[in-house]
């Protein structure tokens, strides 16, 4: 077992890498993408081999958890094989994934068998029409069937992710909580982040985690919890339903940067040091220039981490500060 520890320039331990395996997606969620998206040409996206190489290098440096995300990771051909190879890296504790659920009836079991331990599935509405409006192309029935398939596939844990927006789905908070309770799964509520121009002002739809929590508290006795899943979510437990945890991811109302433990790799191989800043390191160029020699890549990663910003600078007024879309950021 390697005991390498990776520290950034602020002395924070970086043990978590989020890898975007594609910027493509079968949905066009209103908070994530514009309706009419142009995706990266294929040769600009890292190959599966290149993604595996980056994963291996980061694990060697001290990363213990990797999340595969996107875009929609399950629309990438060869994803199950990639999972199997990353899960087999010695010293990696956990391979996990975030998915929109649309392909899970087909892929949940192969993913669990490949070594994906936990799955986050996005679900913003239980109403067929609203679900379609928010995702623009998504089919609620297909995602619900995917969630059932995931429950049967043997993951250690499943969590739902819901982005709550004023006037769109803020009336569904308790229905989503009930859905999670009935299935003994967790749910996190996410404040919308201002990434990319999506054709409307973000401030209009801002709905804070405190407002979400107040709605839940009208129906359930909540117990604050100190537990962490290694991410920015703060958790509460429900007194009457101990098997469901509720998380709040609140980039606006609760700054979590001081305990940040992660970096992201975009589908085109840019190492993003902070979701709220543009500075990044182009690893693709180095991967391709040095196919046999890891030293230049390791040097670039370490130099980049030294420059990881202290904090993001999102504001809830909804001004776009980062022009990248979420699907290009490794969500």
User: What is the binding site for ligand SAM (CB under 6 A)?
Assistant: 25, 31-32, 69-70, 72, 98-100, 122, 161, 163, 190, 192-193, 195, 326-327, 331
To ligand SAM, the closest distance from the beta carbon of 303 in angstroms equals 27
Q: Which does 99 bind (CB under 5 to 8 A by kind): ligand SF4, ligand SAM, none?
A: ligand SAM
Q: How far is the CB of 162 from ligand SF4 (least distance, A)?
A: 11
Exactly one of 326, 328, 329, 330 binds ligand SF4 (CB under 6 A); that residue is 326
166 DSSP 8-state letter: T
Candidate residues 215, 280, 327, 329; the one interacting with ligand SF4 per rule CB under 6 A: 327
Query: Choosing among ligand SF4, ligand SAM, none, which partner's interface includes residue 33 (Cβ < 5 to 8 Å by kind)?
Result: ligand SF4
Among 72, 172, 186, 192, binds ligand SF4 (CB under 6 A): 72
Residue 211's contacts (CB-CB under 8 Å, 6 or more residues apart) are 170
CB closer to ligand SF4 out of 33 and 160: 33
- Among residues 245, 261, 250, the alpha carbon closest in space to that of 159 is found at 245
Rounded Cα distance between 20 and 54, Å, is 12
Strands (E), the chain: 16-20, 65-69, 94-99, 118-122, 157-163, 186-190, 222-225, 234-238, 241-249, 262-265, 270-272, 280-282
Q: Binding to ligand SF4 by residue 192, rule CB under 6 A?
A: no
Q: In this structure, what DSSP letter does residue 310 have?
A: S
Give the CA distances from residue 268 to residues 44, 69, 278, in Å, rounded to whole numbers and listed in that order. 6, 13, 14
- Using CB distances below 5 to 8 A depending on partner kind, what does residue 125 bind out of ligand SAM, ligand SF4, none? none
Q: Report the sign of the C-alpha dihedral through residues 113, 25, 182, 145, in that order.
A: negative
In terms of C-beta density within 10 A (0-12 exposed, 13-18 middle, 19 or more buried), how is residue 221 classed?
A: exposed
Tell the smallest beta-carbon distance from residue 161 to ligand SF4 (Å). Answer: 9
- 169/327 with CB nearer ligand SAM: 327
231 contact partners, CB below 8 Å, separation of at least 6: 16, 249, 262
Closest approach, Cβ 331 to ligand SAM, in A, equals: 3
Of the candidates 50, 11, 94, 104, the one whose C-alpha atom is nearest the C-alpha of residue 285 is 50
What are 33's two structure tokens? 């993408």
CB of 44 to ligand SF4, least distance (A): 18
Figure out which of the listed residues 32, 96, 153, 274 binds ligand SF4, where binding follows CB under 6 A.
32
**Residue 177 interaction partner, one of ligand SF4, ligand SAM, none, beta carbon < 5-8 Å per kind:** none
Q: Give bridge partners of residue 188 from the DSSP assignment.
A: 161, 247
274 contacts 322 by C-beta, under 8 angstroms: no
Binding status of residue 160 toward ligand SF4 by CB under 6 A: no
The option from ligand SAM, ligand SF4, none interacting with 205 (CB < 5 to 8 A, set by class) reads none
Which residues of this protein are in contact with ligand SF4, per CB under 6 A? 25, 27-29, 32-33, 70-72, 100, 122, 326-327
């Amino acid at each position: 077992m390697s005991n390498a520890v990776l520290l950034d320039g602020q002395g924070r331990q970086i043990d978590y890498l989020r890898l975007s395996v594609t910027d493509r997606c079968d949905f066009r969620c209103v908070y994530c993408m514009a309706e009419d998206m142009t995706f990266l040409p294929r040769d600009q996206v890292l190959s599966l081999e290149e993604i595996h190489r980056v994963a291996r290098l980061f694990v060697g440096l001290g990363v213990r958890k990797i999340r595969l995300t996107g875009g929609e990771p399950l629309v990438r051909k060869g994803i199950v094989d990639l999972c199997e190879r990353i899960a087999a890296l010695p010293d990696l504790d956990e391979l996990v994934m975030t998915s929109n659920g649309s392909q899970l009836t087909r892929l949940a079991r192969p993913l669990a068998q490949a070594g994906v331990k936990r799955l986050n599935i996005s679900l913003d509405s239980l109403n067929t029409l609203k679900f379609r409006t928010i995702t623009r192309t998504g089919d609620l029935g297909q995602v619900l069937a995917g969630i059932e398939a995931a429950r049967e596939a043997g993951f250690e844990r499943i969590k739902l992710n819901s982005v709550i927006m004023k006037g769109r789905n803020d009336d569904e908070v308790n229905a989503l909580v009930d859905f999670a309770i009935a299935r003994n799964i967790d749910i996190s509520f996410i404040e919308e982040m201002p990434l990319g121009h999506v054709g409307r002002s973000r401030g209009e739809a801002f709905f804070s985690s405190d407002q979400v929590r107040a709605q839940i508290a009208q129906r359930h006795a909540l117990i604050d919890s100190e537990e962490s899943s290694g991410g920015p979510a703060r958790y509460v437990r429900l007194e009457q339903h101990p098997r469901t945890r509720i998380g709040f991811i609140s980039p606006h109302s609760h700054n979590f940067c001081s305990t940040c433990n992660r970096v992201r790799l975009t589908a085109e191989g840019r190492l993003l040091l902070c979701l709220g800043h543009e500075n990044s390191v182009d690893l693709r160029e180095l991967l391709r220039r040095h196919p046999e020699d890891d030293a230049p890549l390791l040097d670039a990663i370490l130099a980049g981490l030294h420059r990881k910003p202290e904090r993001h600078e999102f504001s809830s007024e909804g001004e776009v500060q980062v022009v990248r879309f979420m699907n290009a950021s490794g969500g």
